[in-house]
C-alpha cells in the first residue's frame, strides 16, 4: 500500500462546467499559456503556444469508440504545436485546468514520448508514450478520485519530469478520463492534452513506450467501469508507471510569479524575460474567472492502493482526523460533448412548456427537474443517476 499526501484547500468553491482544457502550465514559477481551443480556432493569427492545436471548440472529449484512432493521441484532429518550452529533468510542472466539474470523476494520467527530433514536426502516430504519473481511486468512502484532488487544488495537477530521463525533445501527454457514464459501453470520456518540451539534463533513462492508439481498449476495466457500486475495485487504465519514479508527487497549489512565452520552432531557447504575474495569481487560467481559494491549504493524507498497478488491492485507511476537508460528492451528472456529438453552442436549459432541451438532464436518482424532452429528443437513461435528452 502506498501513501500519497495531497493538499486540499479549506472551503474551496464548487464550480460546475461541462468540459475543460489546460489554460497554462507553470514551470519554476513561470506560467506558459496553453492552447485556447474555443477562441484560437477562430483567430486567423493565434498566439504561438506550446500546447498542441486541437479542434475541440466545444471543449469535448474523445469517446472509447475512437481509442484506436489518432484522436486519442492528443485529442481530436490534434496537430503539433509550433513552439516548445525548455525544462530540466526533475522539474515539476503544474498543469492548470479550467474549472473541472465535480461529477466527472476519474483518473489523472501523464505520459511522455520522445520525438527523436523536433516535436514541432513529429508524426503523432509514431510517438510511443511511457507513463510517468497516474492516480485513480484514492478512497472508497467518501469516494475520492484523482480528479477530486485536482479540483481541490484550484483545478491544477503537478507532475515531475523523471530526474534520470535522457535529454531530448518530448511530448507531454496529460489526461483526465471522466467515468460518470462509464458503466455503459462507449460511456467513458477522455480529455487528452499535449505539450512540446525540450528536456535538458545528463540522464540516460530511455523507457520503451506504447503508441497512443494502443494505450487503451474500450473494454478495459478502467474504461468500462460502473463507479456507482458500493465497493469499487478500480483498475487504472493503460500501461504501468515506469519503474524508478513515484506514481504521483504531493499535490498543492502552485503560485505563478511570472509569465512568459514558448520558444518558436527554429528559435533560440534563451527565453524572453519573464513578466511579473498578477499579485493575486494562484495559477488561475489566463482570461478565466475561476474562483480562487481565499484560505490557505490544509494538509490531508489520502491512502490509495498502488497507483498504476495492474490490479489494486482493497484500500486500507489510517485513522482520519476528526476535522478534515474532503472532496464533495456530486449531486448531478453533467453531460459533455464528444467528437460525434459536439454541443458547445447547444442550449442546456428548459425548452418550451418546461421541456428539457436536447443534451440536457431529464432524469436520474434524486432528480427533481423536468423529465419531458423537446420534440425530436428522447430521454435516455445513461446510468441510474443520470438520464439525458438525446
pLDDT for the residue 294:
30
pLDDT classification of 271: cutoffs 50, 70, 90: low
pLDDT classification of 275: cutoffs 50, 70, 90: low
pLDDT for the residue 343:
36
Q: Residue 340: is its pLDDT beyond 50?
A: no
Q: Are strands 83-88 and 92-97 parallel, antiparallel or unpaired?
A: unpaired
Report the candidate in 250, 299, 247 with the shortest Cα–Cα distance to residue 135. Answer: 247
Q: Residue 129: is its pLDDT beyond 80?
A: yes
Q: Residue 293: is its pLDDT beyond 60?
A: no
pLDDT for the residue 138:
97
Greater confidence (29 vs 388) lies with: 29
Q: What is the DSSP string of 100-115?
A: PPTT----EEEEEEE-
The cell numbers describing 265, all together, are 520552432
pLDDT classification of 305: cutoffs 50, 70, 90: very low
On whether the CB atoms of residues 372 and 389 are closer than 8 A, the answer is: no
Greater confidence (304 vs 117) lies with: 117
pLDDT for the residue 383:
63
Mean pLDDT of the chain: 80
pLDDT in tens, 48-103: 999 999 987 878 999 999 999 999 999 999 999 999 999 999 999 999 999 999 99
pLDDT for the residue 324:
41
% of the chain residues with pLDDT over 90: 59
pLDDT for the residue 133:
98
pLDDT for the residue 353:
67
Q: How far apart are CA 92 and CA 49, in angstroms?
A: 19
Vertex 107, ends 363 and 333: CA angle to 5°?
A: 10
pLDDT classification of 304: cutoffs 50, 70, 90: very low
Greater confidence (267 vs 8) lies with: 267
Highest mean pLDDT among 38-52, 89-103, 259-273: 89-103
Q: Residue 224: is its pLDDT beyond 70?
A: yes
Q: Residue 156: is its pLDDT beyond 50?
A: yes
Q: What is the mean pLDDT of residues 116-122?
A: 98
φ/ψ (deg, to 5) at 138:
-100, -35
Question: What is the DSSP code (8-state) at residue 142?
Answer: T
pLDDT for the residue 346:
36
Question: Residue 388, preceding bond cis, omega within 30 degrees?
Answer: no
pLDDT in tens, 5-31: 444 433 333 333 347 899 999 999 999
Q: How far apart are CA 353 and CA 370, in angstroms?
A: 10
pLDDT for the residue 16:
35
pLDDT for the residue 281:
42
Greater confidence (349 vs 248) lies with: 248
pLDDT for the residue 17:
38
Up-side HSE of residue 50: CA atoms within 13 Å toward CB? 31
pLDDT for the residue 387:
77
Q: What is the mean pLDDT of residues 174-182?
A: 98
pLDDT for the residue 41:
81
Amino acid at each position: 500500500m502506498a501513501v500519497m499526501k495531497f493538499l486540499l484547500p479549506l472551503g474551496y468553491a464548487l464550480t460546475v462546467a461541462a468540459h475543460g482544457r489546460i489554460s497554462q502550465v507553470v514551470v519554476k514559477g513561470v506560467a506558459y499559456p496553453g492552447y485556447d481551443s474555443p477562441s484560437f480556432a477562430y483567430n486567423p493569427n493565434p498566439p504561438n503556444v506550446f500546447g498542441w492545436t486541437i479542434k475541440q471548440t466545444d471543449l469535448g472529449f474523445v469517446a472509447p469508440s475512437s481509442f484506436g484512432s489518432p484522436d486519442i493521441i492528443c485529442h481530436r484532429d490534434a496537430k503539433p504545436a509550433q513552439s516548445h518550452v525548455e525544462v530540466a529533468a526533475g522539474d515539476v510542472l503544474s498543469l492548470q485546468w479550467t474549472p473541472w466539474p465535480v461529477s466527472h470523476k476519474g483518473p489523472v494520467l501523464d505520459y511522455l514520448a520522445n520525438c527523436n527530433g523536433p516535436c514541432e514536426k513529429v508524426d503523432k502516430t509514431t510517438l510511443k508514450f511511457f507513463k510517468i504519473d497516474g492516480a485513480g481511486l484514492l478512497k472508497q468512502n467518501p469516494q475520492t478520485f484523482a480528479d477530486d484532488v485536482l479540483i481541490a487544488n484550484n483545478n491544477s495537477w503537478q507532475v515531475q519530469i523523471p530526474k534520470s530521463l535522457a535529454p531530448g525533445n518530448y511530448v507531454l501527454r496529460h489526461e483526465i478520463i471522466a467515468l460518470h457514464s462509464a458503466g455503459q459501453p462507449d460511456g467513458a470520456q477522455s480529455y487528452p492534452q499535449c505539450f512540446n518540451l525540450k528536456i535538458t539534463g545528463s540522464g540516460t533513462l530511455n523507457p520503451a513506450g506504447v503508441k497512443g492508439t494502443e494505450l487503451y481498449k474500450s473494454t478495459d476495466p478502467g474504461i468500462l467501469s460502473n463507479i456507482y457500486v458500493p465497493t469499487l475495485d478500480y483498475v487504472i487504465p493503460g500501461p504501468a508507471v515506469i519503474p524508478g519514479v513515484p506514481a504521483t508527487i504531493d499535490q498543492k497549489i502552485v503560485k505563478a510569479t511570472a509569465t512568459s512565452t514558448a520558444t518558436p520552432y527554429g528559435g533560440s531557447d534563451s527565453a524572453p524575460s519573464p513578466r511579473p504575474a498578477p499579485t493575486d495569481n494562484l495559477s488561475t487560467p489566463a482570461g478565466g474567472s475561476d474562483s480562487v481559494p481565499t484560505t490557505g491549504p490544509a494538509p490531508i493524507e489520502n491512502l490509495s492502493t498502488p497507483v498504476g498497478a495492474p490490479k489494486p488491492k482493497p484500500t486500507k485507511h489510517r485513522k482520519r482526523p476528526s476535522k478534515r476537508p474532503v472532496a464533495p460528492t456530486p449531486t448531478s451528472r453533467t453531460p459533455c460533448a464528444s467528437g460525434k456529438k459536439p454541443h458547445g453552442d447547444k442550449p442546456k436549459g428548459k425548452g418550451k412548456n418546461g421541456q428539457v432541451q436536447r443534451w440536457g438532464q431529464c432524469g436520474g436518482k434524486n432528480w427533481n427537474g423536468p423529465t419531458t424532452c423537446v420534440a425530436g429528443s428522447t430521454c435516455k437513461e445513461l446510468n441510474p443517476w443520470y438520464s439525458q435528452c438525446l
